[in-house]
Amino acid sequence: MRKYNFYAGPSTLPVEVLEELKEEIADYYGQGLSMIETSHRSPMYDSVHSETIELFHELMSIPKNYKVLFIGGGATLQFGMVPMNLLKSGTTAEYIKSGSWAGKAVNDARTIGPVRILWDGKESSYTTLPDAASIRPGNDAAYLHVTSNETIGGIQWKEFPKTGEVPLVADMSSDILSRVFAIRDFGLIYAGAQKNIGPAGVTVVIIREDLAVASPENLPAYLRYKIHAEKNSLYNTPPVFAVYAMHKVLKWLKARGGVQGIEKLNARKAGAIYSVIDKNPEFYSSPVDKKVRSNMNVVFRLPSEDLEKQFLSHAQENGMLGLKGHRDVGGCRASLYNAMPLEGAQALANFMQTFAAEKG
C-alpha cells in the first residue's frame, strides 16, 4: 500500500509515471537497452529530449524567443549563475528577500557583485510579502529576483511585480507548472525539478534569448547560458534519467488538463487543509498572512511541541509521511505538489480534524 508523501522534496511523483519507469527500466520500448544506458546523442534519447522541451513550451505557453535549458547543480547553482550571467559592470542586482531560499540567493549574488534588497520580510519573520505594485526596480538594476514560493515559510506570490525593461528573474523550484502565469513578464525562470516536475538531478532554466546571448565571455563554458542555449542543453552529458522521467511527468500533466487543470486541483487540495486550520483556531495556527498562503506548502503549528510530536507520530501510523516542518522553523508542513492526489489532501484534512477533536 502506497503512503501519502508530504515531503517537501524530493517529493511525490505520479504513480502512473513510476509504473511506466518500472516497466521500461530494463528495456525501453523493445530497443534492447534502457534509456539510462543509451548515448545522449542517440535518436532514442534525442526524441525524449526534444519532446520534453516542446512540452514545456506547450504547457507553459512559452514564446518562441525563450530557450528551455536543462542544467545540473540544482537551483543552488542558479543562485550563482544568474548574477554571473546577468550582472554587468555598473549595474546592481536587486532582490526581494522573502525567506530562506531568497536569502541563499542573495548571499551567493553578493559574492559576484553589488546587491540591493528592495524588500526584506525579516520584521514579519518572513510570513508575508509586499504588494507587487509597490516594487519599483532602480535605474541601475541588472535584474530583479523573486522566489515565487518559499518552501520553508509557506508563502507564495499571487501576483508578480511588473519590472518593465528590467528583467524579472524567479526561482520557481517549488511551484513551477502548478499555476498559470505569463512567461513574457519574466526574463529568466529557474526551477529544480525535484518538487513538482520530476526526480532530483535536473534544473530547468527558461531564459529569454537576448539574455542568454549576452552571457559574458570570461565565464567557464558550463556557467554560461549562451553555451547551453547554443548546444540545446547537450554541451555535456545531460542528466538523462531525470529528463526522461520529467518527460513522463509532463505528459501526465498534459493528459490531466495541463496547468489550467492542475491549478484548480491544487487550490482544492490546499483549501481542504487551510479550512481545517481556520475552523480550529485554538488548536491549529498558521503564521502566514492569508493573502499569500502557499498552495504548495501549508505550514502550521499545534498548541505545544509535545502535541506536534504526537501528531507527526500518529500521522505516520496512518500512512502520511513527511509532515515535520523544516528544522529552521519547526512545526508541521504539508507539501501538496502536483502529484499529490486530492485523496491525500482530504485524508490529511480528516486526520487533522479528528486529532483536534480528540486532543483539543
- pLDDT, residue 159, reads 98
- pLDDT, residue 1, reads 83
pLDDT category of residue 269 using cuts at 50, 70 and 90: very high
Domains and CATH numbers, the chain: 15-255 (3.40.640.10), 257-359 (3.90.1150.10)
Can you count the helices (H) and strands (E) in the chain? 10, 13
Which CB contacts under 8 angstroms, 24+ apart, belong to 91-95? 91/140, 91/141, 91/142, 92/116, 92/138, 92/140, 92/141, 92/142, 93/141, 93/142, 93/143, 93/145, 94/118, 94/137, 94/138, 94/141, 94/142, 94/143, 94/144, 94/145, 94/166, 95/144, 95/145, 95/146
Instruction: Compute the mean pLDDT over every residue in the chain, rounded to the nearest whole number.
Output: 97
pLDDT digits (tens, 9 = 90+) for 78-109: 999 999 999 999 999 999 999 999 999 999 99
**Spatial distance between the Cα atoms of 115 and 95, rounded to a whole number of angstroms:** 7
Phi/psi of residue 29, nearest 5 degrees: 50, 45
Mean pLDDT on 224-233: 98
pLDDT category of residue 360 using cuts at 50, 70 and 90: confident
User: Is 171 one of the annotated active-site residues of the chain?
Assistant: yes
Note the pTM of the prediction, 2 decimals: 0.97
User: Is 64 one of the annotated active-site residues of the chain?
Assistant: no
Please tell me which residue in 157, 171, 226, 251 is annotated as part of the active site: 171
pLDDT digits (tens, 9 = 90+) for 166-222: 999 999 999 999 999 999 999 999 999 999 999 999 999 999 999 999 999 999 999
pLDDT category of residue 358 using cuts at 50, 70 and 90: very high
Query: Residues 274, 178, 319, CA angle at the centre, nearest 5°?
Result: 55
72, three cell numbers: 545540473
Contact 172, 185 (CB under 8 A): no
**Spatial distance between the Cα atoms of 193 and 248, rounded to a whole number of angstroms:** 13
Mean pLDDT on 273-296: 98
User: Is 290 one of the annotated active-site residues of the chain?
Assistant: no
Please tell me which residue in 67, 97, 195, 251 is annotated as part of the active site: 195
Please tell me which residue in 67, 101, 252, 324 is annotated as part of the active site: 101
